Structure 1
Amino acid sequence: MNKKILIVAAHPDDEVLGCFGTVARLIKEGYEAYTLILGEGKTSRDEHRIIENKKDEIEILNTEIQNANDAIGIKKVFVESFADNRFDSVDLLDIIKVISKVKDEVKPDIIFTHYEHDLNIDHQITYKAVVTATRPMSEECVKEIYSFEVLSSTEWNYPLSFSPDVFFDISDTIELKLKSMEKYTSELCQYPHPRSLEGIELNAKYQGMRVGKKHVEAFKSVRVIK
């Protein structure tokens, strides 16, 4: 039976930025991958969260989510609608229950999710909810959890603390990652913003240079049971 991966991301495009080079590689190697996106990703710039005012933008974003995930062969995308950059206004238990429900459906062996000390509050809460939803009891299916970095959040928190200890060579799948990010036209920024195609490739080269490879995605292992 193929191993299964679940990506748990707070916002649309976090999944691409964090681990799509690695997941694309693992799909090519025979893994089955799924994505869960918890937040709607559009209302944080408004003074008040009025979801009706963003209906068209959210519809466009939902199409981009599907297209980006299709680009690397994600089997299914689960999309929730927690308030963007307001996860701290929701009971943590509600987020945990959503993650648990998807986890029970997918039964993943591996989870990729956010780093606990990102600048973004939604990333921090997503990490906490994932760890809670995957407590290492005897019947728990998840055996490996890895935190990824998200450009314009992980490196913008000070003091810097992301210290990766797992490195995936994505030299053969960096183009797939960039192709996926291109699908997020409403989220993509212009260089020198880190959330740009140039920024993504430069970061992959930087992480690769640290371990003698051309392009790499770096992760902090949370729990690995072998």
Structure 2
Amino acid sequence: MKLLTIYAHPADTITNCGGTLARHAEAGDDVTALILTHGGRIHANRYAEEWRKETPDESVVSADLQAIIDHKKHELERAAEIVGIRTLITLDHDDTMATLHEDVIEQIAEHVAREQPDVVICDYPKNPVMTMDAHTAASAMALAGIARAGFYLQNLDGRPETAVKQVFLTSLQVTANDALSHYGMRNDCFIDITPVVDRKIAAMDCFASQGYAGLFARKLIESNNGEMGRLAGVNFAEGFVRLHSETHSLLGITDAARAADPLVRHVEYSRLSLREMFPVARG
């Protein structure tokens, strides 16, 4: 199977679905990440914090935009290697982008057609009027690009149409795992990332310039992936919403559901402590 992630910023792929990608890479699946913006202006902790020092390091505070972009791209490359992303595609648009752009949609469509993914993963888009949110703009363009790739014709566009089998949306703010509490809107699919949580932590530790390394990486995974894991009945999970309904030959029950014991699942969920297992390096 081939997976393609489409996100706004360099670190988004890792924070949202890095564990899932690591599991697919281990299973032998082909993983490609498409990043729309260079991310040079967001989460610039390394540079902002240096300016606050009494004697800032000149090599840091004198960095121009290209130097910042190059540094973040190097962090992304290291993180991608850790989780098993085989191909990185960075479009390097400015990260102040907050509206839909036809040229970017066309770029996305061309990459979707070129990569021919079975599955695409991107952010769950918030209300489209929230144009200050680059994640919403990125997801809206991703969905438009997927649709456009589906309309390509070999005799008109020089490339065949692309049929993406499923789109998984991440970062849904609603975490309830039943169909009634929020009128049907919920994460309807969870991936157990407990076996690869060490790789997600190591990948997030690569993004030191954004302040993601160390305690933040562990706190984010403990709180976010830990809560998703509680709902899923495992230690750590990543939650998704499937864009398309699915068709099965028979009604089925997953292996995880068969193995679940409601009486003791809270004990297993509480077993691991990331801060003890993966302490932050000092010095």
Structure 2 residue ranges without an equivalent (≥5): 45-62, 153-160, 175-181, 248-283
**2:218 aligned residue:** 197
Contact 1:169 1:215 in 2 (8 A): yes
The CA deviation at 1:125 is 1.2
The CA deviation at 1:224 is 5.0
Determine the C-alpha separation between the residues in 2 that align with 1:185 and 1:23. 21
Determine the C-alpha separation between the residues in 1 that align with 2:244 and 2:211. 32
Residue identity (%)? 22
CA RMSD across the alignment: 2.8
Determine the C-alpha separation between the residues in 2 that align with 1:202 and 1:45. 20
Contact 2:204 2:213 in 1 (8 A): no
The Cα offsets for residues 38-65 of structure 1, whole Å up to 9 and x where unpaired, read as 011123589xxxxx93121111111111
**1:23 aligned residue:** 21
- Counterpart amino acid of residue 167 in structure 2: I
Looking at secondary structure, tell me which structure has more strand per residue. Answer: 1
The Cα offsets for residues 148-167 of structure 1, whole Å up to 9 and x where unpaired, read as 118xxx58xxxx99721110
Determine the C-alpha separation between the residues in 1 that align with 2:244 and 2:102. 21
The CA deviation at 1:190 is 7.3
The Cα offsets for residues 112-171 of structure 1, whole Å up to 9 and x where unpaired, read as 001111776211111111211222669433111011118xxx58xxxx997211101111
The Cα offsets for residues 150-197 of structure 1, whole Å up to 9 and x where unpaired, read as 8xxx58xxxx997211101111011111111111111134788xx533
Structure with larger RCO (C-alpha < 8 A, sep 6+): 1
What SS does the corresponding residue of 2:83 show, helix, strand or coil?
coil
**2:187 aligned residue:** 164
**2:39 aligned residue:** 41
- Counterpart amino acid of residue 9 in structure 1: Y
Q: Do residues 146 (structure 1) and 146 (structure 2) align?
A: no
**Partner residue of 1:82 out of 93, 103, 107:** 93
Contact 2:194 2:235 in 1 (8 A): yes
Larger Rg: 2
What SS does the corresponding residue of 2:208 show, helix, strand or coil?
coil
- Counterpart amino acid of residue 188 in structure 2: D
Determine the C-alpha separation between the residues in 1 that align with 2:41 and 2:121. 25
Contact 2:108 2:146 in 1 (8 A): no
Q: After the TM superposition, which of the residue ranges 138-147 and 108-117 deviates more from structure 2? A: 138-147
Determine the C-alpha separation between the residues in 2 that align with 1:213 and 1:169. 7
- TM-score computed with the length of structure 1 as normaliser: 0.82
In the alignment of these two chains, the number of paired residues is 208
- TM-score computed with the length of structure 2 as normaliser: 0.66
What SS does the corresponding residue of 1:124 show, helix, strand or coil?
helix
